[in-house]
Structure 1
Amino acid sequence: MAIPTQARVVIIGGGVVGCSVAYHLTKAGWQDVVLLERKQLTSGTTWHAAGLIAQLRATANMTKLAKYSQELYGSLEEETGVATGFKRCGSITVALTEHRKQEIFRQASMARAFGVEVEEISPAEVKAKYEHLNIEDVQAGVYLPLDGQGDPANIALALAKGARQRGAVVAERTNVTGVTRDGRRITGLSWQNEQGEAGEIACEHVVNCAGMWGHQVGRMLNTNVPLQACEHFYIVTEAIAGLTQMPVLRVPDECAYYKEDAGKMLLGAFEPVSKPWGPIPDSFEFDQLPEDFDHFEPILEAACNRLPMLAEAGIHTFFNGPESFTPDDAYHLGLAPEMDNVWVAAGFNSVGIQSAGGAGMALAAWMESGEKPFDLGDVDISRMQPFQGNKHYLWERSRETLGLLYADHFPYRQKATARGVRRTPFHQQLLDNGAVMGELAGWERANWFADAGQKRAYEYSWGRQNWFENSAREHRAVRENVGIYDMSSFGKIRVEGPDATAFLNHIGGGQYDVAPGKIVYTQFLNERAGIEADVTVTRLTETAYLVVTPAATRLADQTWMQRHVGDFRVVITDVTPGEGVLAVMGPKARDLLQKLSPADFSNAVNPFGTAQEIEIGMGLARVHRVTYVGELGWEVYVSADMACHVFETLWEEARGMGASLCGMHMMDSCRIEKAFRHFGHDITCEDHVLEAGLGFAVKTDKPAFIGRDAVLRKKEEGLKNRLLQFKLTDPEPLLFHNEALIRDGEFVGYLSSGNYGHSLGAAIGMGYVPCAGETAAEVLASRYEIEIAGVRVAAEASLRPMYDPKSERVKV
């Protein structure tokens, strides 16, 4: 078939993901869909994938996409006539340690909250379902009866055929060699095939589905797609007499998975230290990498003990093939932040087959409507920071990320590789005072402070970790005295120009026509009144504002603003590294600052929600009177050159008052007591601002702004969900997030966030409860429980913050 000279969309890459995107776009009615594959369909990673198809993922929406993939693959054969090999054989995950048992039982509770059929099973029940398994040290198992497996290449070919049947052009052996660019848009692609023919396609959209080539294709398209190819090993045995269909078996404590296929057994590994691979030769097509038996041998040795039949079976195939991994083990999906018509679906971290159907569906829906169909924050490409495209960084981080798929997924687990890239001005001073660092978006951040002589490292578990009491003391310091913590990593975006006020009033739900020095807590909404960003906006001058964002969403929030500039005369600039920020919080915060500055910190001069320029020590700073911990306090903004001096000045005086340096864990435990929302967990693009309980921040009496109509509609229709705060009645269990939420004996949802409330004396969670047609009193009258690793724990519920519900402490 001839390649057209014009297309609505060109998809680059013919693996299972590219085929899925083509399938779903044509299913949505898109015409002029062209898919270009450099070699042959499936010839990169898809052809050698293991084909495991699981339903349960880490979040509700990722689970929704995985379940959709299963349903799609079950119907593809009937639609296209191509056999996909899909069968629901079930899956079993076994735990060999108490830590892993706690993890998989928590996952089982989460599965129930997400509507996935699941069953916790004993070692004897594991043996009954998987007779070949040595259960000598098996502690427990989890069984998902509807999980399955399929033929990866045929699934991709079926998707490609479905797309062709609806008019898509699928061209193999056709390489994209260059692009034509106009500002933030790609207007055309150049191509050349193996026959030496060449041409150009004018296009409205481009989708990067290039798999392990996604990084270099991304560069060609002026976008950042951080991923790295790694070697992935498995063996396939000779035929084993009497071996029949078995569930997929995962033994993560031994880094192994097992799949029966046509009377043979496949054993694959996600070893703790992996082997990055590259550069990829231009000739790569259905290729294998050199064997490395020494690398695989420890996995095989443990497997022969776990599945004794393997010791007797001959090895038919020793396979080593490359797969792409991202810095955080989540795939990349969505509109690339650097461009306005370049989309990405790549970097699937060995879960491409089970993810491809749902990812293709979600991306097609996003491209069709121009808005995310639901929250895709876990995988949205805009979560990636620009530096994460650095090749050295990717090489180092990927040595760890492959193995993390089967590592213990402890709460608060920190990545160990590729650390120290982004440091705040206070980094060394915090280390000198006992800081234990965590990492977020590349930023090194003090998470907690160790005592003298205490090991400065995490000791992970599902119970109270080694830093629990340290953080509790930091929490109490902020509640009772004063605590100082580093907020420099939070995004700082300067919006300035003659139309700055009008622009912000268009994009945000708040009222920004305020006096200079005024701070507005606000949300940027989409047309459905879902929350795209949760920020504070400080008016600095008549024409300049500072928008402060969470560290992880700075790029996404800035991109959202830039895409809505239109004709407004504004300039939007990231100024995050230019200022250090120290939060000074607690009932004695005013006393501390007053000792160090001649400025007036009284309510009369500097009330809550205002900023002022001050002298501090021998330097200058700007203080914002806001709080994310629910106490009297100020955020001290100081230029990077004076940051160390201001820290020394503050800390020297604060120590004499018995103050504490504090970390991010303290900030989260304090904020959840106050029921402050956490973006990405409690509030997302699919959570309506009124249902999130943030209607007070939306000013519908101002002229039209994005989402205003949806806010007014919801006021008329009434709420369908309410975000509640929960406190466990038992002080011992811990909450993290995604625990199942039970109302009057029925599963109604899951916790969006959780932490321990040291002042309230128990674990605190937040979560949405369906409430259509109900009053607030009726919602609160119910009996609530939280399921934790299969155990139901009673919980009190509240619509008002359980800590300082009237915010009297904040405004004192």
Structure 2
Amino acid sequence: MLNDRLMSRASIRKSQSERRMSLAALRDPEARPYSLRPGSSEDRREMKTQARAVIVGGGAVGCSIAYHLAKAGWTDIVLLERDELTAGSTWHAAGLLPLFNMSYAVSHIHDYSVKFYKTLEAETGLNPGFSVVGNLRMAQTRERIDEYRLYASTAESVGVPFEWMTPKEVGERWPLLRTDDLRGAIFHPTDGYINPADMTQAMAKGARQRGVEIVRRAQVNGFERRNGHWIVKGALMGEKGGNLVEGEGFEIVSDIVVTASGNHAQRTAAMIGCRLPAIPVEHQYIVTEPDSALVQWRSTNPEHPVLRDADAKWYVREERGGWILGPYEEGAPAWAKFGVPQGFRADLLPLDLERIEEEYASMLHRIPSSEVCGLKDDFNGPICYTPDGNPLVGPAPGVDGFWFAEGFSFGITAAGGTGHYLAQMITEGEAEIDMASLDPRRFGRMLNREYATKKNEETYSHVFVLHHPDEERPAARPLRTAPCYDRMKAHGAQFGQVNGWERPIYFAGPGFDDHASRSFRRGGWWSHAKAEATAIREGVGLIDATAFAKHTLTGPGAAAFLDWFTCNRLPKVGRISLTYALTEAGTVRSEYTIVRHAEDSFYLVSAGAAQAYDHDELAKQVARKTPEFGPMTLTDVTTQWGVFAVAGPKSRELLRPLVVDADPAFALSNKGFPWLSAREIDLGMVPTLALRVAYTGELGWELHHPVEMQNHLFDRLIEQGDRVGLTLVGARAQNWLRQEKSYRAWGADIGRDATPLESGLDRFVDLTKAFRGKDAMLAKGLRAKCVTILMDGPEGDEEGGAADPWGREALWSGDRVVGRLTSGGWSVAAGRRIGLGYVPPAMAEPGARLKVRIMGGLWDAEVVADSPHDPKNERIRADG
């Protein structure tokens, strides 16, 4: 249908070459040509050969970074663009500015962008073409409304305005829309769409006004690290037969480099030996001829908002009396898997309109008047994606002074905020929001092009898929599996993934459909997680924790380094300490469990999601500090050790028969094996490093064992488990249990936007010693405080079933938002909903009364003292 309609209008359809954006239209009106040769004519000038920062890429993101670095006071900056400003994905972007986002960090980024773009004309005199028409996101199902309710609570905590609308209200306000099959909608009145090229030129002008040098037709071909500086090597480009050709070479010495090279991200990263999972995916959109009903409507009414029918997988906006339809369909392929062709400029890709037939038909259903419209234009352009849809913003792994801002699938919306927060990271040591969820190192080193291709195609097709908080996407899985994977699966394990590792999230019977059980409320998995949590509180459970990141640090300088690198006192030999590595800004960067094997030998355990993230920071700091502290050897041993966590009051009963010792009872007693100590023990034939810790807050051990012996150990534990009632337990029950003990989780309750004192980790901070970030931590004071909260919530009604907090909800006091949850779930010990979150210090005392937003309603919530379960740690220290 769509192809037929397009071909029937062939007389007015532009050819591919005609539709290609004229490069003259993209040309920077204020740019002048450059020459490196002496004696240049007066209309040419010399490029800088030294700079404080070089930015590679002249799209929306690159120009925003240049602007914001200059605004922060870094005026000695050069921006290099291989073609013309906006000649990459920026030129064919639809220019939408959606505020809707489930990520707290990305929501802040988008919110900043929308506000920032509105100031550009007053500052630069250039109108960025911001049409503040709003954004109407429609819902056809109850589940979609639940998604919007969860999102809305995040929006409240960020300060993003929105309005709820009924189908009747939508139809009355915009009668061209069919609303009889809608359940409702959420409306953002402050966003809309913008002209990407004009917006980028405005930021470029603002950057120039602050001293930034912008060089077009300058292709970067390599980077060299020399004497603590970067040498950026490239060539000025000429044009021959419509293609760019290399001319004069250049070199620029720079303190730092930032790349924002869009679809060329793989090429630029490879120049410093990095691999980025940033691969473009084809995105098509079509433009219709004028719709007579729309033209008549607009004669007396304002423009429609940007329309999104998420259940139909498209966005639509007005365009000169017609409509632009942008679908996110299944089957859109990745492009330029091995790099962008050298001759590709402001070009488009061949069309495949059959792919979007379903979405086109759904637009005709939603906007019936559009059915008589012919098609005027069509675009198929590459847009860069990443495996989780978030961009890659932060330090490059393995090298100093090199930063990435790559992988933007919503680059126009994110450009302004990315420039702002990345400039903070570069100039101040950290951003005011936690940017770890965007860190380029979050995917680890196991990635290759095939993985990125499969995941990026999946991410594109999931733009409008329901984003359940418990969603687990299937592409490229299973990839990293512990040896016990098949055994766990045979026992009913339902798997999630962290850093590519498959890990059980709960256990269910044969035929259980995890995908069908997902919900914004209590899904089908909830009863299984509750039973597992109860089993650990009352009996004994086994958790696969193999995904933990694990490092060893040895050598004469190891102790002094770790004493500086972390904020808690180091453990004695044979003991364990929980500690934190801070950023230069005094906020929490990483969490470590440190085992001290000898005076100069340490075993470090950290979050599974942070393996590459932690390794890179450790390696960089070890290299920098070795001259000061002495020789050290850092080794990533993550894949050498499997980990089982055994927890519950019957833990000793489970383990004693396996312990090979003259006195097995003494070996596991408090005297033989104290709390927070580590021992090498034999469990049958398996040599095991046992740690007397338990993230669940019960008596227990972590059993770190040679990974090749994991199945043997698993089988022996299961055999003994039949005797004591062992329950296999997944990550969701563990998450509930750790909240009952007020154990903060890295990446949720603790991160780079709060100090350890604000995070309620005072007992893990030794203020008698010097450590990295200490002065900055103290200077910040207490801006907020992490607390434990018990609360009520929906028990189920005509709108849906009972619901618990997920850790994204806004906290209210009176008529204002005062904080937000960072974790949430159910407490089997208290029989109530539980969560951790941040509130002002004045509201952090036990007994403080708040409200929490869950599924659209405000529910009673109370701050309680930390560790509401077993506050004296009597159970975790129990002897026997």
Q: Give the TM interval when normalised to the shorter protein.
A: over 0.9
Aligned to 1:617: 684
Aligned to 1:468: 526
Give the letter for the 1:482 counterpart: V
Aligned to 1:201: 252
Do the aligned residues in 1 keep the contact of 2:514 with 2:525 (CA within 8 Å)?
A: no
Q: 1:595 aligns with which of 634, 657, 678?
A: 657
After TM superposition, the structure 1 = structure 2 runs for residues 125-524 of structure 1, keeping only pairs within 5 Å, are: 125-182=169-226, 186-194=230-238, 196-240=247-291, 241-242=295-296, 244=298, 245-279=303-337, 280-349=340-409, 351-388=410-447, 390-455=448-513, 459-512=517-570, 514-524=571-581
Aligned to 1:20: 64
Structure 2 unaligned residues grouped into runs of 5+: 1-33, 35-45, 239-245, 662-666, 796-801
2-structure distance, mates of 1:311, 1:488 = 56
SS in 2 for 1:422: coil
1-structure distance, mates of 2:828, 2:170 = 40
The answer to whether 1:801 aligns with 2:867 is: yes
The answer to whether 1:49 aligns with 2:100 is: no
Do the aligned residues in 2 keep the contact of 1:95 with 1:253 (CA within 8 Å)?
A: yes
- Of 67-76 and 249-258, deviating more is 67-76
Deviations 1:360-395 (A, max 9, x none): 11111211123334311221212121122x111111
2-structure distance, mates of 1:72, 1:462 = 33
2-structure distance, mates of 1:712, 1:79 = 37
Do the aligned residues in 1 keep the contact of 2:568 with 2:578 (CA within 8 Å)?
A: yes
SS in 2 for 1:134: coil
1:99 to partner: Cα distance: 0.3
2-structure distance, mates of 1:747, 1:75 = 26
Q: 1:654 aligns with which of 703, 721, 733?
A: 721
2-structure distance, mates of 1:303, 1:589 = 59
Q: 2:147 aligns with which of 103, 108, 114?
A: 103
The answer to whether 1:582 aligns with 2:644 is: yes
Aligned to 2:858: 792
The answer to whether 1:61 aligns with 2:105 is: yes
Deviations 1:226-265 (A, max 9, x none): 1111010111111232353111111110001011133221
Aligned to 1:810: 876
Aligned to 1:94: 138
Deviations 1:120-177 (A, max 9, x none): 1111111233221110210011111111211011111111122223222222222112
Give the letter for the 2:497 counterpart: E
1:603 to partner: Cα distance: 0.4
Give the letter for the 2:568 counterpart: G
1-structure distance, mates of 2:751, 2:772 = 16
Aligned to 2:823: 753
The answer to whether 1:71 aligns with 2:115 is: yes
The answer to whether 1:667 aligns with 2:734 is: yes
Compared with structure 1, are the counterparts of its residues 458 and 622 closer, same or farther at alpha carbon in structure 2 (3 Å cutoff)?
A: farther
2-structure distance, mates of 1:575, 1:453 = 36
1:185 to partner: Cα distance: 6.3
Deviations 1:180-236 (A, max 9, x none): 234996433233422622122222211110111112211112223211110101111
Deviations 1:379-435 (A, max 9, x none): 1212121122x1111111122101222110112101110112211132222122221
SS in 2 for 1:413: coil
SS in 2 for 1:557: helix
2-structure distance, mates of 1:379, 1:438 = 20
Q: 1:549 aligns with which of 585, 606, 614?
A: 606
- Of 273-282 and 33-42, deviating more is 273-282
2-structure distance, mates of 1:771, 1:17 = 37
Give the letter for the 1:707 counterpart: G
2-structure distance, mates of 1:239, 1:610 = 74
2-structure distance, mates of 1:11, 1:292 = 35
After TM superposition, the structure 1 = structure 2 runs for residues 566-581 of structure 1, keeping only pairs within 5 Å, are: 566=625, 567=627, 568=629, 569-581=631-643
Give the letter for the 2:405 counterpart: A
Give the letter for the 1:791 counterpart: G
Q: 1:533 aligns with which of 568, 581, 590?
A: 590
1:725 to partner: Cα distance: 1.4
SS in 2 for 1:196: strand
SS in 2 for 1:522: strand
2-structure distance, mates of 1:407, 1:273 = 14
Aligned to 2:38: none
2-structure distance, mates of 1:808, 1:754 = 25
Compared with structure 1, are the counterparts of its residues 462 and 762 closer, same or farther at alpha carbon in structure 2 (3 Å cutoff)?
A: same
SS in 2 for 1:137: coil
Do the aligned residues in 2 keep the contact of 1:35 with 1:168 (CA within 8 Å)?
A: yes
Give the letter for the 1:172 counterpart: R
Structure 1 unaligned residues grouped into runs of 5+: none
TM-score (norm 2): 0.88
1-structure distance, mates of 2:483, 2:763 = 35
- Of 744-753 and 657-666, deviating more is 744-753
2-structure distance, mates of 1:712, 1:357 = 31
1:781 to partner: Cα distance: 4.1
The answer to whether 1:630 aligns with 2:697 is: yes
SS in 2 for 1:651: helix
Compared with structure 1, are the counterparts of its residues 758 and 701 closer, same or farther at alpha carbon in structure 2 (3 Å cutoff)?
A: same
1:710 to partner: Cα distance: 4.4
1:317 to partner: Cα distance: 0.7
Deviations 1:770-806 (A, max 9, x none): 125x7x6xx4443211111321111232132221122
The answer to whether 1:701 aligns with 2:755 is: no
1:760 to partner: Cα distance: 2.2
1-structure distance, mates of 2:776, 2:116 = 32
Deviations 1:12-35 (A, max 9, x none): 111110111111122222233111
1:55 to partner: Cα distance: 3.0
1-structure distance, mates of 2:349, 2:549 = 42
1-structure distance, mates of 2:742, 2:332 = 41
- Of 799-808 and 359-368, deviating more is 799-808
TM-score (norm 1): 0.96
Equivalences, count = 801
Deviations 1:582-617 (A, max 9, x none): 111110101111111034011001111001001111
1-structure distance, mates of 2:480, 2:228 = 27
2-structure distance, mates of 1:151, 1:137 = 33
2-structure distance, mates of 1:797, 1:744 = 15
1:453 to partner: Cα distance: 4.7
- Of 323-332 and 104-113, deviating more is 104-113
Identity %: 36
1:287 to partner: Cα distance: 0.8
1:61 to partner: Cα distance: 3.4
2-structure distance, mates of 1:642, 1:21 = 50
| Structure showing greater Rg | 2
SS in 2 for 1:197: strand
Compared with structure 1, are the counterparts of its residues 167 and 185 closer, same or farther at alpha carbon in structure 2 (3 Å cutoff)?
A: closer
2-structure distance, mates of 1:198, 1:713 = 47
SS in 2 for 1:414: coil
1-structure distance, mates of 2:228, 2:389 = 28
